[in-house]
């Protein structure tokens, strides 16, 4: 036995050492093994130079062997094999299953040869960093950032992010990996949290309707400006902005106004008049950008008397102490929820908001969460009034907004839940008190002049020597806002301490001894808010905001909501055109590091050297990926990128004197954001159709381009197409547009099928936006954040957006600059999430990224092949393959079984899956995009589920299942339905709950039955109503109630207990 053991060991060692030389293990298909040499793995830290060699005469004789390969000793924590899920063996088998002898053969048959690039090579990180190397690199970058104590304000403030929220929401893939909650039955948790956010906004602003977040305060103000224009049906073409608004807000509105043909007038508040009769709206800041609190009561009355709508940009923390804008008479209120527990992050992402009256609800931009009922009549939440949005109304939509800031809105909502109304008032009173103490100290010092207007958190100071004070502040690690040569403002926040105020006294003393402290002054300081502007109305009286004030309670509430939502933690989410791929932990880690998270966006750029180096590197990498010459990182969503790109094209034509070029050709299959964005730029839209194979009809396109030759501005095109195919004629399409004087805008939504294989620049596009939250791994956050940077060719680079506070422009910078204006409130958009895409690209390297594109294509073709016998695959390329996504046709089932895409999507929930994209771009279909991060096993499970559902449809077609009462029409089946005392379905409970064998080991349960969308829009309920506002005495015992409009002719109230919150009820009103 011993001799046999030795012989076996010798043979094993010889084979392993040989394989380490010839086939290093890092190429192994197993992702469970180290990429170190097997000999090293076997022998630990001891280097084996000789091994036993088999010799029948002398079994213990030693002989020399080959040395261990260098490759085997390289770091083992390489990233591509962790991100790209298919192993080499699986890739070969899947390609063979599809009909090709290798993955490369499949790619050659799929991507047109005319647009293939030879190879993508990066100027840096070409081979990719390991995860450990990446973390070290990011730490090095972080160390180059200098986080000064910020008193800059201007809409951005330091805040304490409660650790329970940081760890359990911001750092939790159970919250950040979901998509927008289109499938309400498996999204009830974040829908409830977003409803809490809407309630927070409506309570604090004093207006009854709020959306579930916008991109930032500046763009929210621009959306409000557009609302004013729409409310008056475009009859008045002037919008007035008070000079006390933040400068970035003013610039964004001026940029946006061009597309609406609006004239923007910026004026001091006292000089505003409406004599022209042409003013549709006016924007004011409350408190002002320099801190002043004004009573706008009479101002608003005067505006209304002249038929002018009033928009007020406000501060949520201030509104816990100030009279709400709604009570002052404001029509629309906008602002940012950043200081409610969301890091500054060098500019974002942050959740903005927009609140208004019920009268203007259908003109509001963005997502709105409402209450409806499910199939059992129980209350359930959903996204309301979607008919306003771009995916349905296209160029007639209220806005092009698609991505919002759901994750950040959830954080802000939880901040309010955690602190409650009293906790928020305590924070506000403390901030106000610190500002008042500072002002009192400056008056006592006598070295500067404190401006006399009342303030909340920002003190305006007139100085004789601004430079000396700024220099002294800098030496003490302090950033102040330098308004002009004589003015400084100092903004306080919840992180400011008494010791910080003492340090400020020293800075402003100019070398004069300070004989007092903030502590000694504080008892003398009184509330500085005028009596007429002190808030008297209660807010956040609902029990949700008064129940979870200990960490344990909030932790359990967060977990309770999380458990209701399906995320990538549970299973694949193959939404077509959404690219739901892995959001790796290493990519996410730097986002919460203080050196990145705590920087003010207007801090001097030399204090953000780490960020600036990352921006430069990222710009260079994205230029290589796309074939463009320069990038702007400012657009903070895909739709914002579309708008920015088209505005660049518009500016280019203007610079050449071609003011008349305003026609944009858009295929009918385009994303809804495309026509909505073009409309925002003031362009006239010409639609072109597609042929039977899903390709743009080139002859129709040619005729449209030639017919509009003198006025053609641009073509908007997605590649691969939204039908999931690589169009062979894409280069010809680009040439047609260029020959007729237009520019080609490429929508980067499907970039996941281009990286390393082709590029927009190589194909012939002039500008393209990238969805970093799709192709480059920023998580979707349940409906945001996102990023939409734009890349351009050299001739367009001068027109890339800049910023009024911190000038930006293109990366790399063009030779000259003629910026189109400002797109987002922060200079580099949502800078805090750029490290995610940066780390992804740097760890993958050029080959890893190219492989990701190939595997995404492989996975889609594998699924299409498995499903083709069961569902028609609607479109294919010339060689019968699909791109990275594909469409299955369900239209025939409506006639044969009464089944529609929604029924299949809801039944998939019973299998533990999120449905594909429904009825887009072709009604009656499902579009599936698996991404490269999904394993073959997961792909097979999803295919098995769809095949099983097809068999269920067949049962209806054969008459073995009722066409109206069947397992699809009744899906999904939540536990409340399955455990009901009465079961009236013609199929068993077990079959409803466990249609596949794998579900019995682990299953995600939908928490509600199918939600009634029609009922929800007909009975619009969008906020929580506090107890004090309940009119009916019998209802006073209830702790909460959802509001609804109650016209005078409706009088019968029916109360239902809210299934999501034990202390909440829903009123149904009947005439």
Q: Each residue of 203-213: pLDDT tens digit?
A: 999 999 999 99
b/e 943-970 (16+ beta carbons within 10 angstroms → b) = bebbeebbebbebbbeeebeeeebbbbb
Provide mean pLDDT across the span 1015-1028.
70
State phi, psi for 742 to the nearest 5 degrees. Answer: -100, 175
CB of 369 within 8 A of CB of 381? Answer: yes
From residue 792, alpha-carbon distances to 140, 676, 679, 1001 in Å are: 30, 21, 21, 50
CB of 110 within 8 A of CB of 857? Answer: yes
Instruction: For residue 716, give the nearest of 686, 755, 758 by alpha carbon.
Output: 686
Q: In this predicted model, what pLDDT tens digit does every residue of 90-105 receive, in sequence order?
A: 999 999 999 999 999 9
Q: Which residue has the tokens 């958190």?
A: 457
Q: Is the model's pLDDT at 38 over the cut of 60?
A: no
The Cα 258–Cα 260 span in angstroms is 5
From residue 693, alpha-carbon distances to 62, 143, 441, 880, 881 in Å are: 68, 54, 75, 11, 12
pLDDT at 65: 59
Q: If pLDDT is split at 50, 70 and 90, which confidence band does 1015 have? A: confident
Q: In this predicted model, what pLDDT tens digit does every residue of 800-840 receive, in sequence order?
A: 999 999 999 999 999 999 999 999 999 999 999 999 999 99
User: Is the peptide bond prior to 349 cis by the omega test (within 30 degrees of 0)?
Assistant: yes
Q: Does an H or E element contain 950, and which?
A: helix 936-957
Provide mean pLDDT across the span 144-166.
99
The ranges assigned to domains in the chain are 2-76, 78-141+846-957, 626-829
Q: What residues are paired with 460 via a beta bridge?
A: 489
Q: If pLDDT is split at 50, 70 and 90, which confidence band does 41 have? A: very low
Q: Does domain 78-141+846-957 have CATH number 3.90.180.10?
A: no
pLDDT at 1032: 35
- Least-confidence region, from 521-525, 534-538, 622-626, 1040-1044: 1040-1044
Write out the two tokens for 11: 């043979």
CB of 918 within 8 A of CB of 895? Answer: no
- pTM of the complete model: 0.90
The Cα 901–Cα 1012 span in angstroms is 16
Instruction: For residue 633, give the nearest of 613, 614, 619 by alpha carbon.
Output: 619
The Cα 476–Cα 465 span in angstroms is 17
Provide mean pLDDT across the span 73-96.
95
Instruction: For residue 779, give the nearest of 337, 475, 367, 406 by alpha carbon.
Output: 406
Q: Is the model's pLDDT at 853 over the cut of 50?
A: yes
Write out the two tokens for 507: 């800075």
pLDDT at 672: 79
Write out the two tokens for 840: 């992804």
State phi, psi for 132 to the nearest 5 degrees. Answer: -65, -45
Classify 518 as helix, strand or coil. helix
Provide mean pLDDT across the span 693-712.
96
pLDDT at 1057: 38
> To 10 degrees, the CA torsion angle through 210, 213, 214, 217?
80
Classify 52 as helix, strand or coil. strand
The Cα 144–Cα 152 span in angstroms is 21
Provide mean pLDDT across the span 263-281.
96
Fold of 626-829: 3.40.640
Write out the two tokens for 817: 């600059």
Provide mean pLDDT across the span 989-1001.
96
pLDDT at 507: 98
The CB-side HSE value for 615 (13 A sphere, CA atoms) comes to: 27
Separation of CA 513 from chain center: 50
CB of 778 within 8 A of CB of 804? Answer: no
Classify 363 as helix, strand or coil. helix
The CB-side HSE value for 605 (13 A sphere, CA atoms) comes to: 10
Write out the two tokens for 1042: 């959802």
State phi, psi for 874 to the nearest 5 degrees. Answer: -70, -45
DSSP annotation of 359 reads G
Q: Is the model's pLDDT at 9 over the cut of 80?
A: no
Q: If pLDDT is split at 50, 70 and 90, which confidence band does 1033 have? A: very low
Q: In this predicted model, what pLDDT tens digit does every residue of 916-929 receive, in sequence order?
A: 999 999 999 999 99
Query: Is the fold of 78-141+846-957 the same as that of 626-829?
Result: no
The Cα 137–Cα 1046 span in angstroms is 59
Report strand pairing: 149-150 vs 478-479: parallel
The Cα 189–Cα 169 span in angstroms is 12
Provide mean pLDDT across the span 843-850.
99
DSSP annotation of 262 reads P
Q: If pLDDT is split at 50, 70 and 90, which confidence band does 1018 have? A: confident
First-to-final CA distance of the chain: 91
The Cα 737–Cα 510 span in angstroms is 64
653: Cβ contacts below 8 Å, ≥ 6 apart = 659, 661, 713, 743
Q: Is the model's pLDDT at 588 over the cut of 80?
A: yes
pLDDT at 466: 96
Classify 608 as helix, strand or coil. strand
From residue 375, alpha-carbon distances to 59, 107, 113, 903, 970 in Å are: 77, 45, 51, 13, 8
pLDDT at 71: 84
Kindly report the average pLDDT of the chain as a whole number. Answer: 90
b/e 488-501 (16+ beta carbons within 10 angstroms → b) = bbbbbbbebeeebb
Q: In this predicted model, what pLDDT tens digit does every residue of 411-422 receive, in sequence order?
A: 999 999 999 999
Write out the two tokens for 632: 């702007």
Instruction: For residue 476, give the nearest of 437, 450, 497, 502 by alpha carbon.
Output: 502
The Cα 479–Cα 471 span in angstroms is 10
3-state helix, strand, coil in the chain (%, to 5): 40, 15, 45
Classify 1032 as helix, strand or coil. coil
Q: If pLDDT is split at 50, 70 and 90, which confidence band does 222 have? A: very high
pLDDT at 968: 99
Provide mean pLDDT across the span 115-139.
98
CB of 540 within 8 A of CB of 419? Answer: no
Helical axes 609-626 vs 131-144, angle rounded to 10° = 130
Q: In this predicted model, what pLDDT tens digit does every residue of 781-804 receive, in sequence order?
A: 999 999 999 999 999 999 999 999
Instruction: For residue 776, give the nearest of 960, 898, 932, 947 by alpha carbon.
Output: 932
Q: In this predicted model, what pLDDT tens digit does every residue of 594-649 receive, in sequence order?
A: 999 999 999 999 999 999 999 999 999 999 999 999 999 999 999 999 999 999 99
CB of 946 within 8 A of CB of 865? Answer: no
CB of 823 within 8 A of CB of 898? Answer: no
Write out the two tokens for 685: 């839209």
Classify 987 as helix, strand or coil. coil
Q: If pLDDT is split at 50, 70 and 90, which confidence band does 1046 have? A: very low
Classify 64 as helix, strand or coil. strand
Classify 1065 as helix, strand or coil. strand
Q: Is the model's pLDDT at 1 over the cut of 60?
A: no
The CB-side HSE value for 1048 (13 A sphere, CA atoms) comes to: 0
pLDDT at 69: 87
pLDDT > 70: percent of the chain = 88
Q: Is the model's pLDDT at 364 over the cut of 90?
A: yes
Q: Is the model's pLDDT at 25 over the cut of 60?
A: no
pLDDT > 90: percent of the chain = 84
Q: Is the model's pLDDT at 584 over the cut of 80?
A: yes
Write out the two tokens for 884: 């990275």
């Amino acid at each position: 036995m011993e001799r046999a053991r030795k012989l076996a060991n010798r043979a094993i060692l010889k084979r392993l050492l040989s394989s380490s030389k010839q086939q290093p293990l890092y190429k192994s298909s197993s992702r469970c093994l180290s990429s170190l040499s097997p000999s090293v793995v076997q022998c630990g830290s001891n280097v084996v130079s000789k091994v036993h060699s088999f010799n029948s005469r002398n079994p213990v004789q030693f002989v020399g062997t080959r040395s261990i390969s260098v490759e085997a000793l390289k770091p083992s924590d390489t990233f591509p094999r962790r991100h790209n899920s298919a192993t080499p063996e699986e890739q070969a088998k899947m390609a063979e299953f599809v009909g090709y002898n290798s993955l490369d053969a499949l790619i050659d048959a799929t991507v047109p040869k005319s647009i293939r690039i030879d190879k993508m090579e990066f100027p840096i990180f070409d081979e990719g960093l390991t995860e450990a190397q990446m973390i070290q690199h990011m730490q090095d970058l972080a160390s180059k950032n200098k986080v000064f104590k910020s008193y800059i304000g201007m809409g951005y403030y330091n805040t304490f992010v409660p650790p329970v929220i940081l760890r359990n929401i911001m750092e939790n893939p159970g919250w950040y990996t979901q998509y927008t909650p289109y499938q309400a039955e498996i999204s009830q948790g974040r829908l409830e949290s977003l409803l809490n956010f809407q309630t927070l906004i409506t309570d604090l602003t004093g207006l009854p309707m709020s959306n579930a977040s916008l991109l930032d305060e500046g763009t929210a103000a621009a959306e409000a400006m557009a609302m004013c224009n729409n409310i008056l049906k475009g009859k008045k073409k002037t919008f007035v902005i008070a000079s006390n608004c933040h400068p970035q807000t003013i610039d964004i509105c001026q940029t946006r106004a061009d597309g609406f043909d609006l004239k923007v007038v910026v004026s001091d508040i006292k000089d505003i008049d409406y004599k022209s009769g042409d003013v549709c709206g006016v924007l004011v800041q409350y408190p002002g950008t320099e801190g002043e609190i004004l009573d706008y009561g009479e101002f608003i009355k005067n505006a209304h008397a002249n038929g002018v709508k009033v928009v007020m940009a406000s501060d949520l923390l201030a509104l816990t102490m100030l009279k709400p804008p709604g009570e002052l008479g404001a029509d629309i209120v906008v602002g940012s929820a950043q200081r409610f527990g969301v890091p500054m992050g060098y500019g974002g992402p942050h959740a903005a908001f927009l609140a208004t009256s019920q009268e203007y609800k259908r003109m509001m931009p963005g997502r709105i969460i409402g209450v409806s009922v499910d199939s059992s009549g129980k209350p359930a939440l959903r996204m309301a009034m979607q008919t306003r949005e771009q995916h349905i109304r296209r160029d007639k939509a209220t806005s092009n907004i698609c991505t919002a800031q759901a994750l950040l809105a959830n954080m802000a909502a939880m901040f309010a839940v955690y602190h409650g109304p009293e906790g928020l008032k305590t924070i506000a009173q403390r901030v106000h008190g610190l500002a008042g103490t500072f002002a009192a100290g400056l008056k006592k010092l006598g070295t500067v002049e404190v401006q006399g207007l009342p303030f909340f958190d920002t003190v305006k100071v007139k100085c004789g020597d601004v430079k000396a004070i700024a220099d002294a502040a800098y030496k003490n690690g302090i950033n102040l806002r330098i308004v002009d040569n004589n003015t400084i403002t100092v903004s306080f926040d919840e992180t400011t301490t008494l010791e910080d105020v003492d340090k400020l006294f020293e800075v402003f003393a100019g070398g004069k001894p300070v004989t007092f402290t903030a502590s000694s002054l504080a008892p003398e300081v009184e509330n500085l808010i005028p009596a007429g502007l002190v808030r008297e109305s209660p807010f956040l009286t609902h029990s949700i905001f008064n129940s979870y004030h200990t960490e344990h309670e909030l932790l359990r509430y967060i977990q309770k909501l999380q458990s209701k939502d399906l995320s990538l933690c549970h299973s694949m989410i193959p939404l077509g055109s959404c690219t739901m791929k892995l959001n790796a932990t290493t990519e996410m880690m730097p986002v919460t590091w203080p050196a990145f998270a705590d920087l003010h966006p207007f801090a001097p750029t030399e204090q953000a050297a780490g960020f600036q180096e990352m921006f430069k590197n990222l710009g260079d990498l994205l230029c290589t990926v796309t074939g463009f010459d320069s990038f702007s990182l400012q657009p903070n969503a895909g739709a914002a990128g579309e708008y920015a790109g088209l505005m660049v094209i518009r500016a280019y034509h203007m610079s050449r004197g071609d003011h008349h070029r305003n026609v944009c050709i858009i295929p009918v299959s385009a994303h809804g954001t495309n026509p909505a964005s073009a409309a925002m730029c003031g362009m006239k839209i010409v639609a072109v159709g597609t042929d039977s194979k899903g390709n743009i009809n080139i002859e129709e396109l040619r005729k449209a381009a030639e017919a509009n030759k003198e006025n053609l501005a641009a073509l908007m095109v997605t590649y691969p197409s939204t039908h999931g195919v690589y169009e062979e004629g894409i280069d010809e399409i680009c040439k047609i547009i260029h020959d007729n004087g237009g520019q080609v805008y490429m929508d980067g939504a499907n970039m996941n099928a281009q990286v390393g294989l082709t590029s927009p620049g190589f194909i012939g596009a002039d500008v393209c936006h990238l969805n970093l939250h799709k192709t480059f791994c920023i998580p979707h956050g349940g409906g945001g954040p996102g990023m939409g940077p734009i890349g351009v060719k050299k001739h367009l680079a001068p027109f890339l957006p800049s910023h009024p506070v911190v000038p930006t422009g293109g990366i790399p910078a063009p030779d000259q600059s003629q910026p189109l204006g400002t797109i987002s409130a922060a200079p580099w958009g949502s800078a805090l999430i750029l490290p995610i895409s940066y780390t992804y690209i740097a760890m993958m390297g050029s080959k890893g990224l190219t492989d990701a594109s190939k595997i995404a294509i492989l996975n889609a073709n594998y699924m299409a092949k498995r499903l083709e016998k069961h569902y028609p695959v609607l479109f294919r390329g010339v060689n019968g393959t699909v791109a990275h996504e594909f469409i299955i046709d369900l239209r025939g089932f409506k006639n044969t079984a009464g089944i529609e895409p929604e029924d299949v999507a809801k039944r998939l929930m019973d299998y533990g899956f999120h449905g594909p994209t429904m009825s887009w771009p072709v009604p009656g279909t499902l579009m599936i995009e698996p991404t490269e991060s999904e394993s073959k096993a997961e792909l097979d499970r999803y295919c098995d589920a769809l095949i099983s559902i097809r068999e269920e449809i067949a049962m209806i077609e054969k008459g073995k299942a009722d066409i109206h009462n069947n397992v699809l029409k009744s899906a999904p089946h939540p536990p409340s339905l399955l455990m009901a005392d009465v079961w009236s379905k013609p199929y068993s409970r077990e079959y409803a709950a466990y249609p596949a064998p794998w579900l019995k080991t682990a299953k995600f349960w939908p928490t509600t039955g199918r939600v009634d969308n029609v009922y929800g829009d007909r009975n619009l309920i969008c906020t929580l109503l506090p107890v004090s506002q309940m009119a009916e005495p019998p209802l006073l015992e209830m702790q909460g109630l959802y509001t609804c409009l109650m016209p005078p002719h409706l009088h019968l109230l029916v109360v239902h207990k809210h299934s999501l919150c034990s202390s909440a009820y829903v009123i149904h009103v009947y005439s």
